[in-house]
Amino acid sequence: MATINGDNGDNVLTGTEDEDIINGRGGNDTIDSVDRPANIFAGSINPVRDEVRAGNGDDTVTGGKLDRLVGGEGNDFLSVNFNFNGPVVGSATPITLKLDENGTGRASDGTVIYGFESVNFNLSDTGDNVVDTGNVRAQLTGGNGNDTLTTGSADDVVYGSGGNNVISTGGGNDTIGGGSGIDTVFGGDGDDTFGVNIATDGSDQVNLGDGNDTVRLDRADGGAGNVRLTFTSAEVGNGNTNDAGSLTNQDGGLAVRVQAEDADGNLTGPISRYDDEGITFVAGTQGITFDVRDLVSGTQRGNTFEGVVLGTSGDDALTFFPPFRAGQDFYYNAGQGNDTITAGTGNDFLVGGAGSDTMIGGLGNDSYVVDSLGDTVVEGVDEGTDTVLSSITYTLPDTVENLVLTGTGTIDGTGNALDNSITGNIADNRLAGQEGNDLLIDGGGNDLLIGGAGDDVMIGGAGDDMYFVGAAGDQVTEGVNEGNDTVRSAVDYALGANVENVVLLGSDGTNATGNEGDNSLVGNSGDNRLDGGAGADRLNAGDGDDVLAGGTGADVMRGGNGDDTYVVDDAGDQAIEQPGQGFDTVRSSVSYTMETNIEKLVLYGTDDLTADGNAGRNQIYGNAGDNAIYGDDGRDLLFGRDGADTFVFKAVTDSDVLVSGRDIIKDFDVAEGDRIDLSGIDANLGQAGDQGFQFVGTDSFSGQAGELRTKFGGGNTLIQGDTNGDGAADFAVLLQGHQTLDNGSFVV
């Protein structure tokens, strides 16, 4: 079980695949408990339950089935998807749920909800859902069953989807869509908007309450024909039905036929309302005017009926003119052709349809559907928070904030100088934030996320994703088992959980740090520090004088050009250099044998370790322990430092009689117990077996093989050995300083 804690700032907190406890604490937090199949399958043997405590502040929480979700103080919003069409039979069960006045209740599937001011529920497609949200502000999406959906006094949005539904919204200014079945809708008090699909068989019953209500009748989205409406009763609330192309009054007589296209199939004029003149439809050279008050009478509640604004197959101009329903939300679909849509002051939804369309949103939080390279979105400064939903590669205009890529095509999305939210689709996308503090959300696929300037939040998903980080405040978030992901960074960067790789960009001396996984860290041309952390990591430094620290685990480190330093703490660590790539150093806390092309080895710590050189000219330093130091071939400089150290020579070639190949022990100290081990050298080549040396002090060689002597000169001590009895030295080791040696100074 993981515990994830926020602080008093505005946090973005994401759960794991296991059971979590998530505490938002203070601030306006965004929390996602991470739904998973184990949450969703009703028959799961080991269901996973998360607990989310939003804390103070205005929080946004996305929960899953079976979770315990607690809102806390502030204006909190909860979103739960109760529907899951998984591979397990019965994985999506019908939901029964009633919330009290505090936004508290327990669903039939075990989900516990406490203290939320507004909710968004996506209900099960299987069976008949029964949901009552009380006075909490709600957005409900029903399933394919016969659902009973009830809301209270808030401004709610309810969509019945399939099935024959009963929807009751109570007070508030509600938006209601019955869906494709035969629905019964009770609007209650408030200014309600009803969406009725008259393209399906059967008749919906719409019961209007007090308030100024609007009914939108949708026959088709931008089809080639006309939109025809019939009102069968003057009594508001007694319903309406489709009647093949006429608009009738309460007595059943023909009032007027609305033909919203000219002879060429083009809708060229605006739809507008004037207080005294009623509603005018202008089509080509013909204009038809009628007064809504002449068509709806009886209770005199002021209710009007309004069709969805739809275009035709030609080049249409759909224009909103106030004061016609000023401030209300409109749906525009221009259909085919090169159309122009000018919306009003509400939160409008604009669909250009096929062709090169111009969509002008105006005030309000508007949404645009873009599907053509010729589509143009026009927004003014400070005209709301607007969103483009695009099925093609798209760059946001200067005054539009959000972009959502739709469909399954491999397309890209680019932001602007504002603080953008850009969401990809399920394909491979390139999401680029530009300036501003942006939110980039991967929708699936192998995506490229570029934050740009500003402190950006980039959230990956399934697939092998790549992130470009340009600011210290950028954040990258990945879930467990969501691909092999890479961060390319121009600043110091530490990998977050579930991200595998980092590549440093540019030439600055920036640093990279890994996480607990098996990471790949790649440096740039500057002086970098690469720290692998836990795991079996791969570090590639590139040019520059770099520091490579593998961390725990068996790491492979490549320094490249420059004088590099490797920090080794595992016997499986490798430091790899090529010829001519600088003077390179290994600092090791474990026994270590130098790879080819490494020049210097430094042991650190207090353990008794072994340091073994290579065939080159090495510098080898012991630590504070009792070390065994092997120079091997080449002219080596050996430092025992503290402790009783043993300098080991395995062959006469390890230290030559010539100065050019002779090893130097820089700090030999008899008092510390330092010794020279020559047991690996056969002292008498003329006899079978491995013979030991005889130390003769400062005497000259007598011509007997196996003699070992010392010679003083220049303030230093020279050790010489004769292995063939010719009276001449066959190897020599120089000790810095005047050293008084005896038999105990050697292992022979």
Per-residue pLDDT reduced to its tens digit, 427-480 = 999 999 999 999 999 988 999 999 999 999 999 999 999 999 999 999 999 999
Task: Note the pLDDT of residue 50.
Answer: 78
Once rounded to an integer, what is the mean pLDDT over residues 493-500? Answer: 97
Q: Which residue has the tokens 């599937």?
A: 109
Per-residue pLDDT band for 190 (boundaries 50, 70, 90) equals confident
Flag whether pLDDT at 411 surpasses 90. Answer: yes
Higher pLDDT, 430 or 218: 430
Say if residue 31's pLDDT is above 90: no
Q: Please give the backbone phi and psi of residue 670, each rounded to the nearest 5 degrees, phi first.
A: -60, -35
C-beta neighbour count of 186 within 10 angstroms: 18
Q: Which helix (H) or strand (E) holds 132?
A: strand 130-132
- In the block, tokens 């700090």 appear at 667
Highest averaged pLDDT of the listed ranges 51-60, 241-250, 295-304: 51-60
At residue 193 the predicted structure's pLDDT band, cuts being 50, 70 and 90, is confident
- DSSP classification of residue 179: -
* Backbone dihedral angles phi then psi of residue 459, each to the nearest 5 degrees: -115, 115
Which residues touch 295 (CB under 8 Å, ≥6 apart)?
231, 247, 249, 250, 255, 305
The confidence score (pLDDT) of residue 128 equals 87
Say whether pLDDT at 503 is over 70: yes
| Whole-prediction pTM | 0.60
Task: State both tokens at 373.
Answer: 């390279």
Does residue 3 surpass a pLDDT of 90? no
For the 592-748 domain, the top CATH level (class) is mainly beta
Residue 277 scores a pLDDT above 60: no
Please give the residue that has the higher pLDDT: either 176 or 484: 484
Structure tokens at 285: 């050279």
Report helix, strand or coil for 216. strand
Better-scored residue on pLDDT, 360 or 298: 360
Which phi and psi (to 5°) does residue 295 adopt? -100, -30
Convert 579-612 to b/e letters by CB count within 10 Å (16 or more is b): eebbebbbbbbebbebeebbbbbbbbeeebbbbb
- Tell me the two tokens of residue 438: 């942006």
Whole-Å CA distances, 735 to 182, 664, 669, 675, 730: 102, 6, 10, 11, 17
At 192, the pLDDT band (50, 70, 90 cuts) reads: confident
CA dihedral 111, 117, 122, 124 (to 10 degrees): 40
Residue 320's pLDDT is 56
Residue pair 69/61 in contact by the 8 Å Cβ criterion: yes
688/493: higher pLDDT = 493
Most confident residue range from 16-30, 244-258, 416-430? 416-430
- Lowest-confidence segment of 245-249, 400-404, 468-472 by average pLDDT: 245-249
CA 196, 199, 202, 203 dihedral sign is positive
Average pLDDT, integer, range 567-590: 97
- Residue scoring higher pLDDT (323 or 42): 323
pLDDT for the residue numbered 2 = 83
Phi-psi category of residue 697: left, alpha or beta, with phi > 0 → left and psi -120 to 50 → alpha: left
Pairwise pLDDT comparison (374 vs 14), residue with the higher score: 374
- Looking at per-residue confidence, does 396 or 175 come out higher? 396
What are the E-state strand segments in 553-599? Answer: 556-558, 565-568, 574-576, 585-588, 592-593
The span from the CA of 684 to the CA of 587, in Å, is 38
719 vs 239, more confident? 719
Long-range contacts of range 614-621, CB-CB < 8 Å, 24 or more positions apart?
Answer: 618/594, 620/594
CB 657 within 8 A of CB 730: yes
DSSP annotation of 578 reads -
pLDDT at 49 over 80: no
316 DSSP 8-state letter:
-
pLDDT of 328:
65
User: Which position has the higher pLDDT, 210 or 703?
Assistant: 703
ω into residue 94 within 30 of 0, thus cis? no
Residue 175 has phi, psi (to 5 degrees) of: -115, 125
- Between the alpha carbon of residue 39 and those of residues 35, 67, 80, the distances in Å are 6, 8, 12
Over 60: is that where the pLDDT of 236 sits? Answer: no
Say how far residue 711 (Cα) sits from the centre of its chain. Answer: 70
Cα 222 to Cα 420: distance, rounded to the nearest angstrom: 30
Residue spans of beta strands (DSSP E) within 592-745: 592-593, 600-603, 610-612, 619-621, 628-630, 637-639, 646-648, 663-665, 675-677, 694-695, 707-713, 716-722, 731-735
> Is pLDDT larger for residue 316 or for residue 671?
671
- Of the given ranges (81-85, 117-121, 219-223), which has the lowest mean pLDDT? 219-223
How many whole angstroms separate alpha carbon 440 and alpha carbon 478? 12
Give the DSSP letter string of 320-337.
EETTTTTT---EEE--SS
Q: Which one, of 685, 589, 671, 676, lies nearest residue 631 by Cα?
A: 676
Q: Are 274 and 289 in contact (CB under 8 A)?
A: no
Residue 222 clears pLDDT 60, i.e. is over it: no
pLDDT for the residue numbered 705:
96
Average pLDDT over residues 86-98: 63
Which pLDDT score is estimated for 110?
81
CB 370 within 8 A of CB 403: no
Residue 228 contacts residue 242 (beta carbons within 8 Å) = yes
Question: Could you report the per-residue pLDDT of 659-708, keeping only the tens digit for each?
Answer: 999 999 999 999 999 999 999 999 999 898 889 999 999 999 999 999 99
**pLDDT for 525-557, tens place per residue?**
999 999 999 999 999 999 999 999 999 999 999
Nearest of 735, 729, 732 to residue 638 by alpha carbon: 735
pLDDT digits (tens, 9 = 90+) for 598-607: 999 999 999 9
What is the band of 275 on the pLDDT scale with cuts at 50, 70, 90? very low
Q: What percentage of residues in the chain have a pLDDT greater than 70?
A: 79
CA distance 78 to 107: 14
Residue 538: the pLDDT is: 98
Phi, psi of 345 (to 5 degrees): -105, 0
Residue 739 has pLDDT above 90, yes or no: yes
How many whole angstroms separate alpha carbon 110 and alpha carbon 638? 71
Return d(Cα 371, Cα 4) in angstroms, integer: 41
* pLDDT greater than 90 at residue 283: no
pLDDT reading at 43 higher than 70: no
Average pLDDT, integer, range 47-59: 78
Residue with the bigger pLDDT between 391 and 138: it is 391
What is the spatial distance between Cα 106 and Cα 227, in angstroms, rounded to a whole number?
A: 44
The stretch 405-419 carries a mean pLDDT of 97
Tens-place pLDDT, residues 646-661: 999 999 999 999 999 9
* Confidence at residue 526, expressed as pLDDT on a 0 to 100 scale: 97
- The pLDDT of residue 325: 47
Separation between Cα atoms, residue 390 and residue 369, nearest integer Å: 6
pLDDT the model gives residue 594: 97
pLDDT category of residue 48 using cuts at 50, 70 and 90: low
Confidence of residue 215 (pLDDT cuts 50, 70, 90): low
Q: What residues contact 656, with CB distance under 8 A and at least 6 apart?
A: 635, 662, 731, 732
pLDDT of residue 198: 45
